[in-house]
């Protein structure tokens, strides 16, 4: 996890705490929205990922504000809801794509395209961030 965190902070300019929170939100989202077998492979290849997911899930509050309302009007979930969580965690909109690209590139290095392809393909709109 240290290597992923270093790569994300270098690529995005985010501080380590923000990057760690963001990675936790993304992994929690993938765990909820993507095929369990492939996500399981990814999480197994990322020591510490389960702890980040637990922290992310512990911080769930349902979301609020304008983005929460927009997310609710658009189905209440998906990539838009993830974007809201990332912004609330301090990730600027312009850093979401580099964050996703680095996370998914790291995932491909660890578990290969056979696992990452189905994860990415299972979530509408996710491919624009990877």
Q: Please name which of 39, 42, 45, 3 lies closest in space to residue 20, comparing C-alpha atoms.
A: 3
Binned at pLDDT 50, 70 and 90, residue 60 comes out as: low
pLDDT tens, 32-47? 999 999 999 999 999 9
Q: Kindly state the percentage of the chain with pLDDT values over 70.
A: 87
Confidence of residue 127 (pLDDT cuts 50, 70, 90): confident
The Cβ of residue 48 has, within 10 Å, a number of other Cβ atoms equal to: 15
Report the C-alpha gap between 66 and 71 in whole angstroms: 9
Q: Which of these, 124, 113, 112, 105, lies nearest to 12 by C-alpha position?
A: 105
On the question of pLDDT at 5 being above 60, the answer is yes
Please state, rounded to an integer, the average pLDDT across all residues of the chain.
88
Query: Is residue 122 within a helix (H) or strand (E), and if so which, with residue range?
Result: none
| Structure confidence by residue, pLDDT tens digits, 89-122 | 999 999 999 999 999 999 999 999 999 999 999 9
Written as one string, the DSSP assignment of 8-60 is HHHHH---HHHHHHHHHHHHHHHHHHS-HHHHHHHHHTSTTHHHHHHHHHHT-
* Token digits of residue 50: 């389960």
């Amino acid at each position: 996890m240290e290597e992923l965190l270093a790569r994300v902070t270098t690529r995005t300019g985010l501080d380590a705490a923000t990057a760690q929170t963001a990675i936790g939100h993304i992994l929690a989202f993938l765990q909820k929205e993507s095929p369990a077998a492939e996500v399981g492979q990814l999480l197994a290849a990322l020591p510490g990922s389960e702890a980040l997911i637990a922290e992310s899930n512990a911080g769930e509050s349902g979301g609020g504000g304008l983005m929460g309302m927009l997310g609710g009007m658009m189905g209440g979930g998906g990539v838009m809801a993830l974007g809201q969580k990332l912004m609330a965690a301090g990730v600027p909109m312009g850093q979401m794509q580099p964050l996703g690209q680095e996370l998914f590139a790291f995932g491909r290095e660890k578990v290969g395209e056979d696992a990452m392809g189905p994860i990415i393909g299972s979530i509408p709109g996710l491919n624009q961030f990877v």
